[in-house]
Amino acid sequence: MQEHPAAGTAGLLVTDRIVLALPTEARFRSVATLVLGGIGSRADLPYERMDDLQLAVLSALDAADQAEVTLEVDADENGVSLALGPVRDGSGDDQGLSLVLSRLVDDVTHERRDGAEWLSLRLSRADGA
């Protein structure tokens, strides 16, 4: 991984993309939270913000469409972006899931990739930004 000093901070930021293929079984969910916690620590994100992102990913995993999903994570000086998929068709329009996710992260979108629906989440570094 490449490391670059963060503007205005003493910490280092991960600038490479991390792609994780993850079984959707409940016993593997801790792997996702562990990876996100490590990224948040290296990106010097506040604990509360990473906790929110971890909860959002666990909620999004409930919408998984297959036995395995892909989690793509990018961190930069402004925060963390991730994409998770494939998820069930219509998950991006699910009002309950959208409500939960929108309370935890700053931006929630959905897109189609190779005929399947994916969720994208963005969490800024600053709380409430």
CATH code: domain 3-124 is: 3.30.565.10
- At 58-68, the pLDDT tens digits run 999 999 989 99
Domain residue spans in the chain? 3-124
* Bond from prior residue into 23 cis (ω within 30 degrees of 0): no
- At 95-124, the pLDDT tens digits run 999 999 999 999 999 999 999 999 999 998
Give the residue, 41 or 72, on which the prediction is more confident: 72
Give the integer Cα–Cα distance in Å for 122 and 125.
10
